[in-house]
Amino acid sequence: DGGITQSPKYLFRKEGQNVTLSCEQNLNHDAMYWYRQDPGQGLRLIYYSQIVNDFQKGDIAEGYSVSREKKESFPLTVTSAQKNPTAFYLCASSTPGLPSGNTIYFGEGSWLTVV
Amino acid sequence: RKEVEQDPGPFNVPEGATVAFNCTYSNSASQSFFWYRQDCRKEPKLLMSVYSSGNEDGRFTAQLNRASQYISLLIRDSKLSDSATYLCAVTRSYGGATNKLIFGTGTLLAVQP
């Protein structure tokens, strides 16, 4: 089945550790995105990538890093510099010229908890 | 001021009620508008796009008012299964030709039996 796969679904991290969230899509989409959602909050854009080997900072990129070495993959690393990383992380992808709304797809999300 | 604002709710309504949500946006250059539904601990899913002429999908009606910079969602004959968080989203240009989806904080709807 086509779609976006995020892993792991649940992750616990000790303070001071980096952690990488995986996002893979088989929809042949050029654009990929990472959003963060805090309880009772909307989605905030962390990073986005329009094409392989290129990515741009979103509204809250500090403390995060990404790579886009393959079209299908857009992993997000939450570094120790991120002061409050506990959140729900959502990966999305879309066809070019986003968004028309019906061409953006979300993964099921990853829950990160810092302990 | 947030770029996209919604009343967080919760909206507690009985089954069969009609409920309306509003969402305001601050960037007059915003181009496209959407309503998403998000169930608890799940990813958002597109409910409907919003057009200037208004659009309807069954019990759901969406409206756009560009002059006042707000969009609305009307749900008629509420069902228990409508209980969820409803997020509005608008696009804006972000450092180039590509538009990005900016989300509101969402409005929680709880339909009571």
DSSP state, residue B40: T
Contact B103 A42 (CB under 8 A): yes
> What percent of chain A lies above the pLDDT cut of 70?
91
Q: Pick the residue with more confidence: B54 or A104?
A: B54
Where residue B29 falls among pLDDT bands split at 50, 70, 90? confident
Which residues does A61 contact at the CB level (< 8 Å), separation at least 6?
A46, A47
B100 touches chain A (CB under 8 A): yes
Backbone angles phi, psi at B75, to 5 degrees: -115, 120
Where residue A98 falls among pLDDT bands split at 50, 70, 90? low
Task: Measure the CA–CA gap between A83 and A13, rounded to whole angstroms.
Answer: 13
Q: What is the pLDDT of residue B95?
A: 58
> What is A49-84 written as a DSSP string?
EEETTEEEE-TT-TTEEE--SBTTB--EEE-TT-S-
Q: Which of A35, A41, A102 sits opposite B49 (nearest CB)?
A: A102
Q: Kindly report the CA angle at A79 between A73 and A85, in degrees rounded to 5?
A: 95
Task: Measure the CA–CA gap between A25 and A105, rounded to whole angstroms.
Answer: 10
pLDDT digits (tens, 9 = 90+) for A36-54: 999 878 899 999 998 899 9
Contact B98 A106 (CB under 8 A): no
Where residue B102 falls among pLDDT bands split at 50, 70, 90? confident
Q: What is the pLDDT of residue A104?
A: 77
